[in-house]
Amino acid sequence: MYRHWVVFAFCCFGELCADQTLKPQLAASQLATNNPTLTTIALEKPFCMFDNSLSPNKSYVIYLYAMKESAVAISSLVTDNGSKPLDSTFQQTGGGELGPYKAALFNVPSCASPPKPADVGNVNKVADVLEQYLFRAGDDGTCLYDPNFLGVCNPPLAPDTTYRFKYVLVESTGGIMKDQTLWSDPIKTRRVKLPLKIDTWPGRRSGSMIVITSIQSVLMFLLLAGLLASVSSAVMRSGDASAETKHVSQSIQQSEPRPQLSSE
């Protein structure tokens, strides 16, 4: 049932990656930087993965299931007793703690027209390329709290937690599972870094941060020096004005005629 497949991961921006086993993979770092994050994991969409399972004149969709690594010991099944995929939700499974939940539903990516690597450098097309190529698990921060939300909820993942993912090919008309991948390798979200544990020693900072900090220090020094110079200049002008006023006053007093005493 399981085959090898070629996934368009844009390795080296244009070279196809080597054949990989049938399982979801982390998105290529060239297109998904800072991956995983605290609450999201960007995955490659399943290009060319299910082509041999597609029948003409039938429509299909892809389900993405997610679960915590700890749930593997409980159950990793994504179908009921028959062949229908589970509709288990994030809430029903405790965020994947009790088993897999359906995190996404999207159309089968076209193997005939994958995203073009050259479009990554086009500002007007890069968003569309990322939309075609990536799926970001944990990217919906509102669906859990929206009473009117009726779609498949993809709420934020838990920080510092290991997850696994599985793609399932489903025939749209009957809702029957046609094919599925293996579960992905364990993928862990980032850990929250406590403020007390953040290393602020200059040797741990990047070169750009050190330059910015140095420039800010110099500007602060110049600003302070300018302020002191302005205050000092104002004080000196005030002193000069006072001395000049006193000198003028004395000159006026000396120049005024003194009254003569009349002689008897």
Using CA atoms, how far apart are residues 23 and 165, in angstroms rounded to an integer?
8
Read off the tokens for 129. 């390329």
Kindly give the pairing relationship between strand 176-180 and strand 101-107.
unpaired
Long-range pairs, 29-35, Cβ under 8 A, ≥24: 30/120, 31/120, 31/129, 31/130, 31/133, 31/134, 32/130, 32/134, 32/136
What tens digit of pLDDT does each residue of 207-232 get? Answer: 556 567 667 777 777 777 777 777 67
Are 133 and 31 spatial neighbours (Cβ–Cβ below 8 Å)? yes
What tens digit of pLDDT does each residue of 10-46 get? Answer: 433 333 343 446 899 999 887 888 999 999 999 999 9
Its pTM surpasses 0.75: no
Kindly give the pairing relationship between strand 134-137 and strand 41-44.
antiparallel
Lowest mean pLDDT across 51-55, 147-151, 234-238, 260-264: 260-264
Tell me how far the alpha carbon of residue 171 is from its chain's centroid: 33
Are 135 and 43 spatial neighbours (Cβ–Cβ below 8 Å)? yes
Q: Which helix (H) or strand (E) holds 230?
A: helix 207-255
